[in-house]
Amino acid sequence: MDIQVKSGRIGAEMQGTMVVGLFEEDRLEEGSSPVLDPALQRYLRSVLLCGDFKGKKNRLAVLYPSGAAAPARVVLVGLGAQEKFTPDTGRQAAGVAARKLALFGVKDFFSTVHGLDLGRFAPEWCAQATVEGAMLGGYSFNLYKSDPGTAVRLDTLTLMVSQRIGITTLRAGAETGRMAAEATILARDLSNTPGNDLTPSGLADMAAKMAKKNHLRCTVLTKNAIEKEGMGGLLAVSRGSEEPPRFIVLEYGEPAEKRDTLVFVGKGVTFDSGGVSIKPAERMEEMKHDMSGAAAVIGGLQAIAGTKPDVHVVGLIPATENLPSGSALKPGDVIRTLSGKTVEVINTDAEGRLILADALTYAKRFNPVGVVDLATLTGACVVALGHAASGMMGNDPALMDAVRTAGETAGDRVWPLPVWEEHHELIDSHIADVKNTGGRWGGALTAGAFLEKFVDYPWVHLDIAGTAWIEKDGAYCPKGATGAGVRLLVELTRRWRKS
């Protein structure tokens, strides 16, 4: 995937494929657009006068201007009302255009940088969002199709801008966008891969492969080492499966006196059947993506290896299957976690928190200034927030603020949920230190309370159960895995302590 940023006018040669973003307000009067070639602009003005294309958000018109010397195609994409525009509007517009073009089998195109001429958002942000949308919009998962159809991957995207000044900044933004999108695609691929092909050891192999390619350190603890460590939560969940567990440690950079350490923890349940507290059959197949937190961490670290922020980053992934069998964990069992705390297991389907407890304890040895865990943890979070935002809980307002801003900027939104004393009380156990479920109500919050018992550092928990997987095609994501969390982690590290 090659991304270019060039100064000049789009359509000057009137050939190839050109994506042009237009606002509802755009009339394309003589001289009003600095980036459109005057002849193309005149033609588009006459198209607008027909009134069929009104610039409505994510609407498309595909045009084949006559009289062009070489084959030429113009895709108009609506950016909506100027006043409502955000970089994510640009990401969406680029996404729907790219999706259309992928179906046509188009591998190279020119595009305007959506929102750039408004002057309301940093130019590098507009470039980054346009690149992300264009790369992610054409995504499809066809690894298992004998005939992948016409879907193609983008080869070259050329962003056209009118001014020469600031082109370096635009190129930097485009490059960050390329790295973030590639990492999001990796995360989507991992989450979409079925459980028979992505086992805990398979996930560890993918993490190690990514690390090697990007010069990151990677250590994988096998079952023996996990036993020696005393990770009772991870071992308990994996007991029902023939597949041995893994504990994956990824590392970017190193600790230094003037450098902070951040730890990202990702839930890596490669298939969640619920265990003995088995789930209903309907839509159980989707639980192959219960390792989306792990995918976000692996993708996040891949991008971070490229964006090179001045911070030490550790990724921790407890990986296991959750299956019922004669050796499986049972309701009523009491287990001892790495922290020494005991847990009474009420429901074996609340397995994510058991393996995260060990990872959160393990995180302490890195002396982190902040820990962010990402997990497809509760159906209750999907009920609360739907697919529009990940649920955010935590114990440190400053870190929560940083995470929220990063998510907002990256189009990878999170929304705060509370964890109060009342939620802690709901998980008191009569016979152990804590129990693993808190009853029917406020399920996302009692899960948050459970995790909070294992941290003693600034910490944020992101419940991505609703955002990691979508049931309908989105503007820059076909139905299935979204790669949620990757862009947030990239943005969080990029701006860490700089502002």
Q: Just list the catalytic residues.
A: 279, 353
Q: Least distance in Å: CB of 287 to Zn ion? A: 7
Q: Which of residues 364-423 bind ligand BES (CB under 6 A)?
A: 376-380, 382
Q: Least distance in Å: CB of 189 to ligand BES? A: 18
Segment contacting ligand BES (CB under 6 A): 56-64, 183-191, 228-236, 350-358?
350-358
Segment contacting ligand BES (CB under 6 A): 155-163, 207-215, 349-357, 399-407?
349-357
Q: Least distance in Å: CB of 274 to Mn ion? A: 5
Q: Least distance in Å: CB of 489 to ligand BES? A: 19
Residue 7 interacts, among ligand BES, Mn ion, Zn ion, none and using kind-specific CB cut-offs from 5 to 8 Å, with none
Q: Which of residues 62-121 bind ligand BES (CB under 6 A)?
A: none
Interaction between residue 290 and Zn ion (CB under 5 A): yes
Q: Least distance in Å: CB of 80 to ligand BES? A: 31
Q: Which is nearer to Zn ion, 173 or 352 (CB)?
A: 352
The span from the CA of 304 to the CA of 310, in Å, is 10
The span from the CA of 354 to the CA of 367, in Å, is 22
Segment contacting Zn ion (CB under 5 A): 32-40, 64-72, 272-280, 395-403?
272-280
Interaction between residue 272 and Zn ion (CB under 5 A): yes
The span from the CA of 227 to the CA of 159, in Å, is 52
Q: Which is nearer to Zn ion, 269 or 427 (CB)?
A: 269
3-class secondary structure per residue, the chain? CEEEEEECCECCCCCEEEEEEECCCCCCCCCCCCCECHHHHHHHHHHHHHCCCCCCCCCEEEECCCCCCCCEEEEEEECCCHHHCCHHHHHHHHHHHHHHHHHHCCCEEEEECCCHHHCCCCHHHHHHHHHHHHHHHCCCCCCCCCCCCCCCCCCEEEEEECCCCCHHHHHHHHHHHHHHHHHHHHHHHHHHCCCCCCCHHHHHHHHHHHHHHCCCEEEEECHHHHHHHCCHHHHHHHCCCCCCCEEEEEEECCCECCECEEEEEECEEEEECCCCCCCCCCCHHHHHHCCHHHHHHHHHHHHHHHHCCCCEEEEEEEEEEECCCCCCCCCCCEEECCCCCEEECCCCCCCHHHHHHHHHHHHHHHCCCEEEEEECCCHHHHHHHCCCCEEEEECCHHHHHHHHHHHHHHCCCEEECCCCHHHHHHCCCCCCCEECCCCCCCHHHHHHHHHHCCCCCCEEEEECCCCCEECCCECCECCEECCCCHHHHHHHHHCCCCC
Which residue ranges make up the site for Mn ion (CB under 5 A)?
A: 272, 349, 351
Segment contacting Zn ion (CB under 5 A): 143-151, 158-166, 271-279, 423-431?
271-279
Q: Which is nearer to Mn ion, 176 or 337 (CB)?
A: 337
Residue 321 interacts, among Zn ion, Mn ion, ligand BES, none and using kind-specific CB cut-offs from 5 to 8 Å, with none
Interaction between residue 266 and Zn ion (CB under 5 A): no
> Is the distance from CB of 395 to CB of 465 less than 8 angstroms?
no
Q: Which is nearer to ligand BES, 144 or 441 (CB)?
A: 441
State both tokens at 56: 């409505």
Q: Least distance in Å: CB of 330 to ligand BES? A: 14
Number of residues near Zn ion (by CB under 5 A): 4
Q: Which of residues 256-275 bind ligand BES (CB under 6 A)?
A: 272
Given 26, 189, 260, 351, the residue binding ligand BES (CB under 6 A): 351
Exposed e or buried b per residue across 225-255, where buried means at least 16 C-beta atoms within 10 angstroms of its C-beta: ebeebbbbbbbbbbbbbebbbbbbbbbbbee
> Is the distance from CB of 54 to CB of 24 less than 8 angstroms?
yes
Segment contacting ligand BES (CB under 6 A): 15-23, 191-199, 345-353, 359-367?
345-353
Interaction between residue 463 and Zn ion (CB under 5 A): no
Q: Least distance in Å: CB of 224 to Zn ion? A: 25
Interaction between residue 331 and ligand BES (CB under 6 A): no
Residue located via tokens 């490229």: 306
Segment contacting ligand BES (CB under 6 A): 165-173, 299-307, 343-351, 413-421?
343-351
Q: Least distance in Å: CB of 375 to Mn ion? A: 10
Strands 459-463 and 390-394: antiparallel
> Nearest residue to ligand BES, using CB?
379
Residue 111 interacts, among Mn ion, ligand BES, Zn ion, none and using kind-specific CB cut-offs from 5 to 8 Å, with none
Interaction between residue 352 and Zn ion (CB under 5 A): yes
State both tokens at 443: 């399920």
Q: Which is nearer to ligand BES, 198 or 210 (CB)?
A: 198
Q: Which of residues 421-480 bind ligand BES (CB under 6 A)?
A: 437, 443, 465
Q: Which is nearer to Zn ion, 176 or 273 (CB)?
A: 273
Given 88, 182, 349, 452, the residue binding ligand BES (CB under 6 A): 349
Q: Which residues contact Zn ion by CB under 5 A?
A: 269, 272, 290, 352
Q: Which residues contact ligand BES by CB under 6 A?
A: 272, 290, 347, 349-352, 376-380, 382, 437, 443, 465
